[in-house]
Structures are given as structure tokens and as C-alpha cells.
């Protein structure tokens, strides 16, 4: 595991963050979904980012885009914010919360500790632009577990768009070059 962290440290030093993919193994329950998260943004006093239920390449691309905005451009995303320019004709909602057993950013927790880690999830919609907490979202087809986010704040995410304010781990760089 020390090689994993050494390589991760090199990537963080070069780009500002690394992306870690957690893929289901044959021993995991059938409804286990892949997820990916950043490691390194905490060192810049920013929340780490996590996304679930997407193919690794797409998850990697979305995390890198948002991490670049956060790290390089100083962007801040508040809980419940709709980000409208990541996916064509669809929003992504940012949730702020704590890790769960289904979304456990182990490498980030090992590096920074639970007390220092802040976490934001990029939540993607179904093709009708509905989110997992909304009626009609087909959770069987588009399963994505959510971090432990405050339910009161989730209510803000329900507002109309105009009002909405052993697993395998792969690590990659900001530029999309993955390493094993």
C-alpha cells in the first residue's frame, strides 16, 4: 500500500489532486456501484469530491473538471448548488456531507483523517433531469448512493431549477492519464 500512497503523493504534487476509483469486486453485493473521489484538495483547504454510479472514465472526467475549478480557479460550491455546465442539457447537484459505508473515500481519510476531511458529492440526474431524492427517479436503473447530507438542505435541491440555489483501486492524474 505504501507504493499506492507514494504514487498518489507524486500526482498530488504535480497536479494538486489525484483521482481514486473504487470498483466493485466479485464478492460485493450485486447492487454495489463504482465510485471515484479526489485526494489532495484537502491540502488546499477545499473539500474532496466524490461521484458514484458512473463508468470510471466519465467519473474521472467530471471529477477532474470540478477539481480544476476548485483548485485552479478558486471556485466554491455550496450544498445544493446546481452546476449547469458539466453535462450537456443536464444539471449536477453538489451535496456537502459525510462519508457513508457505500461511499468511503479511504485513501483521503487515511491521508487527512476524518476530522480534517470535508466531502462534496457530484450527483447526476436521470435522462429526465430528476435526482435520486425526487419522485420518479428510476433508482433501480440509475443507482447512485448518496453521502450523508443534511436532509433539510436536500429540500432546497427539490426546488424548481430557476429557484435552486476486496475492491480494485485505480489512481489517475488530472489530465486523465490513469495509473494502476
Q: Give me the pLDDT at residue 161, please.
A: 42
Residue 95: CB atoms within 10 Å: 24
The per-residue DSSP string of 3-43 comes to HHHHHHHHHHHHHS-EEEEEE--TTS-TT---EEEEESGGG
- 79-111 pLDDT, tens digit each: 999 999 999 999 999 999 999 999 999 999 999
All three cell numbers of 125, joined, read: 440526474
What pLDDT, on a 0 to 100 scale, did the predictor assign at position 149?
A: 76
Helices (H), the chain: 2-15, 56-71, 106-112, 151-157
Nearest alpha carbon to residue 63 among 12, 19, 110? 19
Low-confidence ranges of the chain (pLDDT < 50): 152-153, 155-156, 159-180
Place of cell 503523493: 9
Per DSSP, the three-state class of 106 is helix
Amino acid at each position: 500500500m505504501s507504493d499506492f500512497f507514494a504514487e498518489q503523493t507524486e500526482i498530488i504534487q504535480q497536479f494538486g489532486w489525484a483521482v481514486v476509483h473504487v470498483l466493485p469486486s466479485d464478492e460485493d453485493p450485486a447492487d454495489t456501484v463504482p465510485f471515484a473521489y479526489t485526494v489532495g484538495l484537502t491540502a488546499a483547504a477545499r473539500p474532496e469530491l466524490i461521484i458514484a454510479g458512473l463508468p470510471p472514465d466519465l467519473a474521472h472526467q467530471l471529477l477532474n473538471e470540478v477539481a480544476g475549478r476548485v483548485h485552479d480557479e478558486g471556485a466554491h460550491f455550496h450544498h445544493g448548488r446546481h452546476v449547469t455546465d458539466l453535462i450537456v442539457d443536464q444539471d449536477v447537484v453538489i451535496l456537502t456531507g459525510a462519508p457513508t459505508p457505500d461511499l468511503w473515500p479511504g485513501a483521503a481519510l487515511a491521508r487527512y483523517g476524518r476530522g480534517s476531511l470535508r466531502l462534496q458529492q457530484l450527483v447526476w440526474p436521470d435522462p429526465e433531469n430528476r435526482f435520486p431524492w425526487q419522485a420518479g427517479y428510476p433508482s433501480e436503473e440509475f443507482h447512485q448512493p448518496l453521502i450523508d447530507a443534511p436532509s433539510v438542505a436536500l429540500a432546497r435541491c427539490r426546488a424548481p431549477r430557476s429557484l435552486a440555489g476486496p475492491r480494485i483501486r485505480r489512481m489517475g492524474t488530472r489530465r486523465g492519464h490513469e495509473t494502476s
